[in-house]
Structure 1
Amino acid sequence: MSEKRTRSDYARWRDLPTRWADNDIYGHINNAAYYGFFDTAVNCFLIEEAGLDIHAGGVIGLVVETGCSYFAPLAYPETVQAGLRVARIGNSSVRYELGLFKTDSDGPAAQGHFVHVYVDRETRRPVALPQAMRSALEAIHA
Structure 2
Amino acid sequence: MKIQAKSREHFRHFLPIATRWMDNDAYGHVNNVVYYSWFDTVVNQFLIAHRVLDIEQSQVIGLVIETQCNYFASVAFPDTIVAGLAVSKLGNSSVRYELGIFKENESQASAQGHFVHVYVDREQRRPAPIPDAMRHLLMSIQSDKHD
CA root-mean-square deviation: 1.2
- Does 1:113 find its partner at 2:110? no
Aligned to 2:104: 103
Aligned to 1:126: 127
Q: TM-score, normalised by structure 1?
A: 0.97
Q: TM-score, normalised by structure 2?
A: 0.93
Instruction: Report the CA distance between 1:4 and its aligned residue.
Output: 2.5
Query: Which amino acid in 2 is paired with 1:36?
Result: S
- Check conservation: 1:61, 1:116, Cα contact below 8 A: yes
In structure 2, the CA distance between the partners of 1:105 and 1:136, relative to structure 1 (3 Å rule), is: same
Query: Which amino acid in 2 is paired with 1:58?
Result: Q
- Deviation per CA, 1:22-54, whole angstroms, max 9, x where unpaired? 100010000000000000000000111251010
- Check conservation: 1:87, 1:95, Cα contact below 8 A: yes
Structure 1: gaps spanning 5 or more residues: none
Query: How many matched pairs?
Result: 142
| 1-10 vs 105-114, greater mean Cα deviation | 1-10
Instruction: Report the CA distance between 1:2 and its aligned residue.
Output: 5.3
- Deviation per CA, 1:27-82, whole angstroms, max 9, x where unpaired? 00000000000000000001112510101111110000000000000001111101
Instruction: Report the CA distance between 1:10 and its aligned residue.
Output: 0.6
Aligned to 1:77: 78
Measure, in 2, the Cα distance between the counterparts of 1:2 and 1:137.
25
Identity across aligned pairs (percent)?
54
Q: Secondary structure at the match of 1:83?
A: strand
Q: Secondary structure at the match of 1:100?
A: strand
- Check conservation: 1:93, 1:116, Cα contact below 8 A: yes
Measure, in 1, the Cα distance between the counterparts of 2:21 and 2:60.
34
Structure 2: gaps spanning 5 or more residues: none
